[in-house]
């Protein structure tokens, strides 16, 4: 699998996810503004991948800072963090990664700008490495929930493409598949940006994991027919009470799962858990441009010009619809998160 986000020879290399599956192209970012634009334009997307890209963006931006004294150097890097933090509001991994990068500065005020630049690169690489390790661990824990022969419904893309590699929800799928379980994934297309149709099917097909693409409005019918055994999605932010923000349409799947008595699992690393946000009501929901809804994949219009459009990128699934949350530290009920992760 081609890496989603990479640091190579002083540049940030992103697999351009806007072009998939038609074209496999690497976007080479030589300045942090290009990284910020790539996050905003969904060239790199998925909560953990956004965090890794932003951390690398900070390291890249810092490389170009000319200040030699600590205070002006820190001021310049904090301004870069602010710009990267203004790209997308919902995925908390972005802010978590930026805080880690700011922490490097705060803890090393005695260092030269030369050394700080090196330390920032090292921290960004560490964040990437840790994300990969967490995903393998999520996969190991989550695979225990999947039985041989089961069919799994997923929404959006919570795979290798959305992370530093392996994936969260799709990491669980991968781990179950690697254990020899004969499973089948039903991928919802995920209107309006089609992460399910374009990305989830693509990455599962790369690994020869059986996948069937369905439109978003087919899930209820499949559940009623008894085809789906469990639902498995990622998350952009999990509040302290276990409410889960994820791609718009996730809530609908959770309600349907409850109505059909099908388990609804969320897979996410601890970097997605935001104990400072008490409940889903306080999670900021990104509103995206109308053209994403009025055309399909940037193509010709599918709605009258000037029509009023709503385009929230995420929704909140209340904790009581979530069967369990799969993390790198194990599987927890939503109500157990705060106590477990506060420690």
Q: Residue numbers of the site for ligand MRU (CB under 6 A)?
A: 42, 45-48, 91, 156, 158, 162-163, 168, 195, 234-236, 246-247, 313
Least separation in angstroms between CB 289 and ligand MRU? 13
Give the orientation angle of helix 32-40 with respect to helix 47-63, to 10 degrees. Answer: 160
Q: For ligand MRU, which residue has the nearest CB?
A: 234
DSSP symbol at 147: -
Q: How far apart are CA 51 and CA 327, in angstroms?
A: 17
Taking every pair of Cα atoms in the chain, the longest distance, rounded to a whole number of angstroms, is: 66
Minimum CB–partner distance for residue 159 and ligand MRU (Å) = 7
Q: Cis ω on the peptide bond leading into residue 330 (within 30° of 0)?
A: no
CB of 162 to ligand MRU, least distance (A): 3
Nearer to ligand MRU, 91 or 127 (CB): 91
Minimum distance, C-beta of residue 309 to ligand MRU, in the bound complex (Å): 17
- In the bound complex, what is the minimum distance in angstroms from residue 219's beta carbon to ligand MRU? 15
Tokens 């530290």 sit on residue: 329
Q: Determine the Cα–Cα distance for residues 75 and 104; give it in Å rounded to an integer.
A: 13
**Minimum gap (Å) between residue 258 Cβ and ligand MRU:** 19
Q: Which is nearer to ligand MRU, 5 or 65 (CB)?
A: 5
Instruction: Classify residue 237 as exposed, middle or buried by CB count within 10 Å of its CB (0-12, 13-18, 19+).
Output: buried
Q: Which lies closer to ligand MRU via its Cβ, residue 314 or residue 332?
A: 314
Active site residues: 236
Encode burial over 128-161: b for 16+ CB neighbours within 10 A, e otherwise. bebbbebbebbbbbbbebbeeeebbbbbbbbbbb
| Residue 178 in tokens | 């690697």
Q: Which is nearer to ligand MRU, 73 or 332 (CB)?
A: 332
Nearer to ligand MRU, 46 or 334 (CB): 46
Backbone CA torsion sign across 294, 232, 127, 86: positive
Q: DSSP letters of 75-117?
A: HHHHHHHHHHHTS-SS-HHHHHHHHHHHHHHHHTTTS-HHHHH
Q: Name the residue with tokens 């910020």.
A: 36
Cα angle at 16 between 11 and 20, to 5 degrees? Answer: 160
Contact 33, 66 (CB under 8 A): no
Coil/strand/helix, residue 4: coil
Q: Pick from 193, 199, 249: which is nearest to 219 by CA?
A: 249
* Cβ nearer to ligand MRU, comparing 109 with 287: 287
C-beta closer to ligand MRU: residue 42 or 321: 42
Closest CB 256 distance from ligand MRU, rounded Å: 17
């Amino acid at each position: 699998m081609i890496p989603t986000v990479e640091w190579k020879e002083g540049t940030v290399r992103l697999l351009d996810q806007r072009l998939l599956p038609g074209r496999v192209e690497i976007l080479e970012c030589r300045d942090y503004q290009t990284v910020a634009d790539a996050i905003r334009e969904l060239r790199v997307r998925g909560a953990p991948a956004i965090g890794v890209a932003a951390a690398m963006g900070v390291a890249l931006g810092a490389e170009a800072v000319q200040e030699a004294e600590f205070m002006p150097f820190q001021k310049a890097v904090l301004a870069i963090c602010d710009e990267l933090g203004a790209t997308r509001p919902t995925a908390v991994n972005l802010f978590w990664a930026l805080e880690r990068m700011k922490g490097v500065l705060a803890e090393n005020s005695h260092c030269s700008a030369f050394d700080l630049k090196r330390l920032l690169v090292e921290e960004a690489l560490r964040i990437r490495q840790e994300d990969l390790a967490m995903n393998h661990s999520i996969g190991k824990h989550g695979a225990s929930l999947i039985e041989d022969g089961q069919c799994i419904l997923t929404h959006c893309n919570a795979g290798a493409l959305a992370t530093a590699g392996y994936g969260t929800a799709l990491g669980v799928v991968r781990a179950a598949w690697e254990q020899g379980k004969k499973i089948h994934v039903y991928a919802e297309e995920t209107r309006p940006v089609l992460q399910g149709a374009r990305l989830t099917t693509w990455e599962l097909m790369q690994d020869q994991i059986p996948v069937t693409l369905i439109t978003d409005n087919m899930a209820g019918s499949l559940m009623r027919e008894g085809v789906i055994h469990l639902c498995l999605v990622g998350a952009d932010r999990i509040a302290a009470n276990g409410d889960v923000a994820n791609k718009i349409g996730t809530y609908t799947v959770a309600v349907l799962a409850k109505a059909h008595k099908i388990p609804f699992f969320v897979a996410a690393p601890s970097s997605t858990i935001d104990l400072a946000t008490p409940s889903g009501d306080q999670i900021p929901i990104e509103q995206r441009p109308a053209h994403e809804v009025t055309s399909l994949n940037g193509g010709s219009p599918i709605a009258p010009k000037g029509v009023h459009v709503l385009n929230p990128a995420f929704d909140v699934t209340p904790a009581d619809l979530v069967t369990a949350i799969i993390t790198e530290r194990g599987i927890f009920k939503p109500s157990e998160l705060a106590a477990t992760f506060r420690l």
